[in-house]
Homo-oligomer: A and B are copies of this chain.
Amino acid sequence: MATDGAIGVFDSGIGGLTVVRSLMDRLPFEDIVYFGDTARVPYGIKSVATIRRFAGEIARFLMQRDVKMLIVACNTMAAVADDVVRECAGEVPVIDVIDAGARAAVAGSRSRRVGVIGTPTTINSNAYAERIHALDRGVRVYSAACPLFVPLVEEGWLDHPVARMTAREYLKPVLAEEVDTLVLGCTHYPLLKPLLQRVVGRRVGLVDSATTTAELAADELRRQGLAREAGKPAHRFYVTDVPLRFEAIGERFLGRSLGTVEKVDWAVD
């Protein structure tokens, strides 16, 4: 391994592009290979055995593309298939969104009362609470599943009265616990950040797992002497299907033009 490998980032769909966006901002010289399993999204409703199999397939695909780091930019895979990915990765460092979010929450909370929001699968997996407690057993974690946030983001209703009303309803029980930190435990949620900040108020800090993952990746690359300090980066995007509105939604997530997207066929169904 050397500084010239790419960072491999993967997700069940396009949500992980929010992580890519943060990586591009934080590590502007690094090559990035993104894999989004758009043909089989959403993973959240699939069985654990199926998700673990898919995670292994994707990790192996990226390992064949000269990566120096793997980033699991999918809360569902990070929750139930972390060990599968690490086994495929061998010596290559692996970072995941849950780990990054848990670390940032523990570091950022003064009251040691932390809220976590995510999809039903992520929340039911209890993965954030477990990782937070592995870092600090004294932190109280209050969770809420927010199943409508992903469709609201994909609809583009980022600052819509419906999104505000939905957020107020979902967050009410968590806010009642007087948390001072709220982890956005889903890669779609960074797009709702301004709205969510208004709903939770200024006294609650939002932990956005896209920026915290990019931060952790930067630390890890530097620590292992793998960071690239100059050069024009290459960004490649692989998907398993090119769905309706893919480009429009993808570019909203990435905050810029997607460039070339390659469709791979080995996982079409």
Chain A residues with CB under 8 Å of chain B are 38-42, 44-47, 50, 53-54, 120-121, 124, 147-148, 150-152, 154-155, 157, 161-162, 165-166, 169, 241-245, 267-269
Contact = CB atoms under 8 A, between A and B. Distances in A.
Contact of A165 (B150, B162, B242): B162
Given A40-B40, A166-B162, A47 B242 contact: yes
Contact of A269 (B44, B121, B269): B269
Given A120-B245, A147-B155, 12 more contacts: A39-B46, A45-B243, A45-B244, A47-B243, A50-B268, A50-B269, A121-B244, A147-B151, A150-B151, A162-B165, A165-B165, A269-B269
A161 B50 CA distance: 36
B165 A154 contact: no
| Copies of this subunit | 2
A102 to B, nearest CB: 22
Contacts of A268: 50
A267 B47 CA distance: 13
A47 to B, nearest CB: 6
A60 to B, nearest CB: 15
Given A41-B45, A120-B245, A269-B269, A152 B148 contact: yes
Contact of A148 (B47, B155, B165, B267): B155
Nearest to A47: B241
Nearest to A41: B45
Contacts of A267: 269
27 contacts: A39-B50, A41-B45, A45-B241, A45-B243, A46-B241, A46-B243, A47-B241, A50-B268, A50-B269, A53-B269, A54-B269, A120-B244, A120-B245, A121-B244, A124-B244, A147-B151, A147-B154, A147-B155, A148-B148, A148-B152, A161-B165, A162-B162, A162-B166, A162-B169, A165-B165, A267-B269, A269-B269
Nearest to A150: B151
A165 B45 CA distance: 27
A229 B166 CA distance: 48
Nearest to A242: B47
Contacts of A166: 162
A137 to B, nearest CB: 28
Nearest to A152: B148
